[in-house]
Amino acid sequence: MQAEQLEQTFGACRWVYNEGLALRSNAWEQHHVSAGFAETCRALTSWRQASETSWLKDVSSTVLQQALRHLDGAYTRFFKGTAKYPKRKKKRRSRDSATYVRTGFRWVEDPERPGTGLVSLAKQTTPLDVRWSRALPGGQVPVKLTVTRDRAGRYFLSVLVEERIEPLPAVFLPGGSEPKAVGLDLGLATLVTLDDGEKLEHPRLLKKYAKELARWQRELHRKQKGSKNREKARKRIARLYAFIGDVRRDMLDQFTTRLVRENQVLVVENLAIANLMRPSVGKGRRRKAGLSRSIIDAAWGELLRQLRYKCEWYGRTLVIVDRFFPSTRRCSACHTKGPRLDLSVREWTCTECRVVHDRDENAAVNLRDEGMRLYWLVAAALPPGKVPPPTIKASELAEVLLAA
């Protein structure tokens, strides 16, 4: 019963989002009128009152209004130039979600287990059966709830609460006041190489489960479209992909948390991931497709995302070095810039000082040194007592120095 009610809520949110998108698009294309959130909310009232769409009354109006809020946010990001024009949501293609504000749910905290409790959603007959992965801050009342369902059919409850995260104590080098820094070189042969030589091996999860995925994909295409057996095969594939994603995120989460706890400054290279994954045409396209799959499997974007928000939370500084900095072919001992290196070259010898370098470790050391140079440039420009920002980007260094 509860799953059916959530299914109806997801469908209503998707329908309202699509109708709001159509209304705003048509208003501009046909009449050159800019319709906003207020206009779509008035349209929502008429949709709920119309006999053809009276089924919208079975879903809480606050949830449907939040779907229009999400649409308005998508337009805002589009006008700012940070996202593409909003697209229609499709059943079984888009993520199913429903957001409840404070008036759309009831929260009763469990006195025996503070931070957990009963959650009753508007227009739902029974409270949600929640398995809490972590307790909320004691005494805090949730501000917003979001129920989502992934392609594997799993339901998740995301809770927004107001909490102040205390920064971690500053980490300095032994016997000095210089902040401890670490350089990270991201790669495919080794997922992450640190400047001290430590390496996080690439688990290659997609490659590990490639045969199993291929077998289930063949099973899927043998099933008749629209049949229950085809849906079972689809869910089986989705569960395997969900398992791969969970393992990958958990590994990166543990690794990034340790790095943030042990270091004050973290330095990475500004990777153009979208450009690296751009499809190739003509000769070499098969090799490029394999490279793109490896980049997806490496999840560089997720690793950088986690570093960004954890540095902001815990009072650390993430320095992003320019992508054109020659970290790989510059000697970390004498700073001599060598020739371009093929991806197959894992070790090389400096022609000036004759030091033998591991390709990835040398790049990590160069990134750390360049990152600390940028860090001290920003720190020197700040007034006394002010700490550097959580993110320092080489391409935006002039703006940061002016703001300081």
Instruction: State the catalytic residues.
Output: 185, 269, 360
Spatial separation of the C-alpha atoms in residues 379 and 391, rounded to whole Å = 12
Q: Which amino acid is at 356?
A: V
Q: What is the DSSP letter of 325?
A: S
Long-range CB contacts (< 8 A, 24+ apart) of 61-66? 62/100, 62/101, 62/103, 62/104, 62/122, 63/9, 63/12, 63/13, 63/98, 63/99, 63/100, 63/104, 63/122, 64/12, 64/13, 64/16, 65/41, 66/13, 66/98, 66/99, 66/100, 66/101
Spatial separation of the C-alpha atoms in residues 388 and 288, rounded to whole Å = 39
Please count the CA atoms within 13 angstroms of the CA of 137 that sit on its side-chain side. Answer: 10
Rg (alpha carbons) of the chain, rounded to whole number = 26
Cβ atoms 343, 291 nearer than 8 A: no
CA-based nearest residue to 365, from 182, 148, 187? 182
Spatial separation of the C-alpha atoms in residues 94 and 71, rounded to whole Å = 14
Helices (runs of H) and strands (runs of E) counted in the chain: 11, 13
Q: Which residues contact 289 (CB under 8 A, 6 or more apart)?
A: 279, 280
Q: Which single residue is written with the structure tokens 């199993």? A: 212
